[in-house]
Structure 1
């Protein structure tokens, strides 16, 4: 059993939380030296590419949710298209009945640089200055963490087949030892070049190298879809009401609407229940199943079918179904490797940022000579199912697991947060939000309580897996037996560092004492810092 920090970090001039101590240190240092939340987030994101290389990278994707001091809330979508030549027939002619999960055919255009460009328009410092800690870390090396060693060990055979990845992560075909310095000089040089001209990622020297390499490997990129990925403009957040506050989320292709859907279903119910009791777990599980069913049956990145699930009559019908005593038996349809951060600055700007390579080390494909690993978001997120709204198509973004949330009340921030972990994200975010708003837990307790996870969700590679409810230790054994009597197939899991329970980050505002409270999940080696 993990022992969480007993109290959240408390401060008056800003706060950060992330899944790695040194990432949080970089963000807090930027705030302490006068930078704003945009500056701190950009610096933290780059540093995490070095310290959590299995989870994220500049070749991945990202979503961000921002609340400015006046209360304006907006988002930016950093997910990309698949290749222009990537029609369903293209993949079927290769003898495939689903998209590959790794390799060049699994890659979508990265969206992380586009989101960072949008954020940088609100920053006060140059990209070169903000990325300098990460560039230096790439050259000098960072100590290999237990998480990185475990990630490399899990994927060592595939990484060893890629010359760029093998040199960094598996020299001699073996993962680095914990504490051994991992250097990425090629990535450092790439970041230095992109800091001077970030547009080059999509339309300059980097884009030409990436597209040529992918095309030579059989992925039908034209380069035009790559250039389109450069733009991640402001978008309105999507919003509902929960426990008397406004809950904001990132819009599709993000899965943020699923958190709003669960919130609509659960509002007014969870506050009167034991937050770890069988009735609450039953409602958590069934609300999540309802969201995944609607996602799989109706949703694509270019339709508005998600809105139907949030309509009053649809919510009422779902609540009626869940109110029965037994679990639903119909299967729906994993967890991935992602990382995230939250930052609130002295002016009250709040940024919830989440980025990913999709699976651990993404596609396991690097752009030669750059040190940049590319994501496998297309392979993970798009279906090869005739006529499905999430069927792979040129210029169609695959549905996404990433999402970020924020709660406010009137003119005041209540809390901002996120929780990586594939299809677990939307479930764990809802649970943390309920712990905060329904039961008044402080942020540290809210992110530390045991979690429940419906599996599978709607990842392309897990649709046919047996349906289970994964319950972390700490829940009452009698409650788990009651769930099984209700028809849930319960799988008991330990709570452990690097385990399958995600890694939530939260920063909350305490209006009574006029302070910020920040929390980092004990399931990862993160830290919450306040100034």
Structure 2
């Protein structure tokens, strides 16, 4: 079974499975197709946190997030007159990590050769993939920038002066040529499959790709600050980075164990929201929605104070029964409009200067960003301005994977002409304040919103799922997971599609992870389908409710395996009409 945010990626993964490949072969092939089919949502120089559960083995996390380059110091940025990392341009580029992460997965857990998994992406890049509506809409938001500054991007995305129309074939011959050259250089290393993959990794870190990426970073580029800046990425930074494995963060709730990436991601906010739940939940009621919204605020406040690649706090402390009993007591009948981080282990929370100023009312909250900046978030009406991708696979043997590719968007940096893709902008998630868990620091990963999920029941992997959505990811995913679990009690079985389709919502009552770091205290956006009674009750309780379109919240993908019967299932998001689940 496969589920992803684009039908071509799902079809590709299924083709690999039908050809005898396993879940990991399928995921790698689909991941590279997503670079072609959804270039406004991800690219090879972006990131891809992954959680895997090999049949018979324990779940593991592939971090898939590159660190800040050695030259990316706070002093360097503030010396340029900046108080935030720009949302676009090479100054915002972390060390690119997606390619190496996919290669590590293929080497260690796949069975296919490099050429076998890249051939699908090469075919679509050469012959064209039908453009989804959002590609053209995203290009239009940055048209002037492409035409006047980022002209290499205009050559691909504004051919003959026109943005890609929905359904028009979008070709990227430079990207196809890049992968063909990588394959040729890898195969020159010999016939051994793993040796070829290692050779491809060296090409990325030290070969022609590294040279082109470093040259792009050193080119003065117009960014969201309104100035031209060069980046800090060097050849040494690329040569030093290799993706790796970590133990997942986890929490057990009602017999389910949910696995997430660690505190360098926002993933543990999912676990904190579970830990904050009361003993009883009346699914779908106004009280249920209110309780989840308030729990989200508390978890995200802790994210702001405690999460990062360098943190003083223990995850065990954030998930402890005593800590969450005290935090749960903060959830009252009325909506909170405050940012209330806790004090795990008695530690005093610290917030960035900008967030403190907003809370104190000394400066207004920054405006919500326009499309083209950062990982485009969700507008107040619930519409998306871009996003991320997601991919889940479970194979006939029970191998399972959840992956959230993102970054390296076409709107993040100019396309590197000889490669066909741009650098990413993940450093924008770091603060330019010293002493915070997420302060910009060379060698440390920026705290990412990318957040795949994997759930076990009684120790057996059962469910892989995730969604695009930036700060919304660990809201929409929690709501989906609870829908699966609570609806199962009524239906007597999983209802993946029904749980994906269920009305969703998100809170904005905390600082955005993306430039210019906006927040809307008390703000919550709901799908109109959630019901007039729920909307009225939320407003009565003091929530600042924005009612979005009926199908505007959530981009969930999911696959499952029943450990008792071995039956596989999948569901895909109908919102946007491009998510796709397939299997047999």
Aligned match of 2:260:
249
Aligned match of 1:316:
325
Q: Which runs of 5+ in 2 are unaligned?
A: 187-199, 221-229, 341-354, 356-376, 379-385, 489-493
Computed over aligned residues only, the root mean square deviation of the Cα atoms, in angstroms, reads 1.9
Checking the alignment, whether the CA contact within 8 Å between 1:69 and 1:349 is kept in structure 2 is yes
Higher percent of residues as strand: 1
Residues 146 and 314 (structure 1), Cα distance of their counterparts in 2 relative to 1, 3 Å cut:
same
| 2:146 aligned with 1:159 | yes
1:355 counterpart SS class: coil
Aligned match of 2:100:
114
| 2:401 aligned with 1:351 | yes
Aligned match of 1:398:
446
Structure 1 residue 502, shift from structure 2 partner: 3.3
Residue-by-residue CA offset, 1:322-352 (whole Å, 9 max, x unaligned):
1x21111214764461001100011000010
Aligned match of 1:170:
158
> Following the alignment from structure 2 to structure 1, what is the Cα–Cα distance between the partners of residues 294 and 467?
20
Q: Which runs of 5+ in 1 are unaligned?
A: 1-14
Aligned match of 1:55:
41
Number of corresponding residues: 507
Residue-by-residue CA offset, 1:382-441 (whole Å, 9 max, x unaligned):
111243221212112111000111111235332110111100001111111100112225
> Following the alignment from structure 2 to structure 1, what is the Cα–Cα distance between the partners of residues 314 and 338?
20
> Following the alignment from structure 2 to structure 1, what is the Cα–Cα distance between the partners of residues 62 and 101?
6
Instruction: Out of 257-266 and 80-89, give the one that drifted further.
Output: 80-89
Structure 1 residue 34, shift from structure 2 partner: 0.9
> Following the alignment from structure 1 to structure 2, what is the Cα–Cα distance between the partners of residues 481 and 105?
45
Residue-by-residue CA offset, 1:102-147 (whole Å, 9 max, x unaligned):
1111111111112112211211111111110110111111122223
Residue-by-residue CA offset, 1:173-219 (whole Å, 9 max, x unaligned):
33122222111000111122234323211122211221122123321
**With structure 2 as the length reference, what TM-score do the two structures score?**
0.83
Checking the alignment, whether the CA contact within 8 Å between 2:391 and 2:557 is kept in structure 1 is yes
> Following the alignment from structure 1 to structure 2, what is the Cα–Cα distance between the partners of residues 171 and 463?
33
Aligned match of 1:433:
481
| 2:421 aligned with 1:372 | yes
Checking the alignment, whether the CA contact within 8 Å between 1:62 and 1:78 is kept in structure 2 is yes
1:228-377 equivalent positions in 2, closer than 5 A: 228-229=240-241, 231-266=242-277, 268-270=279-281, 273=282, 275-305=283-313, 307=315, 308-322=317-331, 324-331=332-339, 334-335=377-378, 337-357=387-407, 361-377=410-426
1:522 counterpart SS class: coil
Checking the alignment, whether the CA contact within 8 Å between 2:88 and 2:412 is kept in structure 1 is yes
Aligned match of 1:146:
133
Aligned match of 2:537:
482
Aligned match of 2:574:
522
2:252 counterpart SS class: strand
| 2:499 aligned with 1:443 | no
Residues 503 and 304 (structure 1), Cα distance of their counterparts in 2 relative to 1, 3 Å cut:
farther
Aligned match of 2:233:
221
> Following the alignment from structure 1 to structure 2, what is the Cα–Cα distance between the partners of residues 243 and 356?
32
> Following the alignment from structure 2 to structure 1, what is the Cα–Cα distance between the partners of residues 421 and 529?
40
Structure 1 residue 263, shift from structure 2 partner: 1.1
Structure 1 residue 451, shift from structure 2 partner: 0.9
> Following the alignment from structure 2 to structure 1, what is the Cα–Cα distance between the partners of residues 446 and 540?
37
Residue-by-residue CA offset, 1:267-286 (whole Å, 9 max, x unaligned):
6333xx1x222111111111
Checking the alignment, whether the CA contact within 8 Å between 2:25 and 2:112 is kept in structure 1 is yes
Structure 1 residue 512, shift from structure 2 partner: 6.5
1:281 counterpart SS class: helix
Checking the alignment, whether the CA contact within 8 Å between 1:142 and 1:183 is kept in structure 2 is yes
Structure 1 residue 368, shift from structure 2 partner: 3.2
Structure 1 residue 235, shift from structure 2 partner: 1.2
Residues 492 and 37 (structure 1), Cα distance of their counterparts in 2 relative to 1, 3 Å cut:
same
Checking the alignment, whether the CA contact within 8 Å between 2:153 and 2:410 is kept in structure 1 is no
Structure 1 residue 20, shift from structure 2 partner: 1.2
Residues 402 and 94 (structure 1), Cα distance of their counterparts in 2 relative to 1, 3 Å cut:
same
Checking the alignment, whether the CA contact within 8 Å between 1:419 and 1:429 is kept in structure 2 is yes
| 2:555 aligned with 1:494 | no
Structure 1 residue 151, shift from structure 2 partner: 2.3
Structure 1 residue 456, shift from structure 2 partner: 4.7
> Following the alignment from structure 2 to structure 1, what is the Cα–Cα distance between the partners of residues 564 and 532?
37
> Following the alignment from structure 2 to structure 1, what is the Cα–Cα distance between the partners of residues 540 and 235?
55
Aligned match of 1:184:
172
1:20-169 equivalent positions in 2, closer than 5 A: 20-121=6-107, 122-160=109-147, 161-169=149-157
Aligned match of 2:208:
205
Aligned match of 1:465:
519
Checking the alignment, whether the CA contact within 8 Å between 1:243 and 1:268 is kept in structure 2 is no
> Following the alignment from structure 2 to structure 1, what is the Cα–Cα distance between the partners of residues 291 and 402?
27
> Following the alignment from structure 1 to structure 2, what is the Cα–Cα distance between the partners of residues 151 and 305?
39
> Following the alignment from structure 1 to structure 2, what is the Cα–Cα distance between the partners of residues 414 and 213?
43
Aligned match of 1:6:
none
Structure 1 residue 522, shift from structure 2 partner: 0.7
Instruction: Out of 143-152 and 53-62, give the one that drifted further.
Output: 143-152
Checking the alignment, whether the CA contact within 8 Å between 1:357 and 1:377 is kept in structure 2 is yes
Aligned match of 1:8:
none
> Following the alignment from structure 1 to structure 2, what is the Cα–Cα distance between the partners of residues 28 and 259?
29
> Following the alignment from structure 2 to structure 1, what is the Cα–Cα distance between the partners of residues 39 and 515?
23
Higher RCO (C-alpha under 8 Å, 6+ residues apart): 1
> Following the alignment from structure 1 to structure 2, what is the Cα–Cα distance between the partners of residues 340 and 179?
21
**With structure 1 as the length reference, what TM-score do the two structures score?**
0.91
> Following the alignment from structure 2 to structure 1, what is the Cα–Cα distance between the partners of residues 51 and 563?
22
1:482 counterpart SS class: helix
